Amino acid sequence: MAREIDRDEVQRLMAQGAQIVDVLPAREYREDHLPGAINLPLRKIEAGALRVLDPSRPVVVYCADPG
C-alpha cells in the first residue's frame, strides 16, 4: 500500500535519491515529467517495476492529478 505524500515530501525524497515513477502513457511522459522521472505506464508497471526499480531505494509514483 502506497503512502500518500505531498509536494514537499516528494522534493525531500528526491534529494535523498528516491526513484520517481511517472505512470502516465508514454506520449504524456515525453511532453513533460518530473525531473529524473522514469516512465512506467500503469498497464506495464508490474512487469516493469521489477526490471528497472532498485528495491533498496524509495519509490515515488505519480500520475496527472488527484482525479
Partner 1 sequence: MYDYWTGILDWKTAGLPVEGTSAQQPRLVDVVRRDVPTCSLGERLGDVRDRAAAAGWDACVVVSDGHVVLGLLRAAELRGDPDQLVDQAMRPGPSTYRPFVPVAELRGIMSDRNLESSPVTTSDGRLVGLVRKQDVGLR
Is 4 a residue that touches partner 1 (CB under 8 A)? yes
User: Distance between the two ends of the chain, CA-based, in angstroms?
Assistant: 19
Q: Torsions phi, psi of 60, nearest 5?
A: -115, 125
Exactly one of 32, 46, 54, 56 binds partner 1 (CB under 8 A); that residue is 32
Is 40 a residue that touches partner 1 (CB under 8 A)? no
Is 42 a residue that touches partner 1 (CB under 8 A)? no
Is 13 a residue that touches partner 1 (CB under 8 A)? yes
Q: What DSSP element (H or E) covers 39?
A: strand 38-39
Instruction: Tell me which amino acid residue 8 is.
Output: D
Is 31 a residue that touches partner 1 (CB under 8 A)? yes
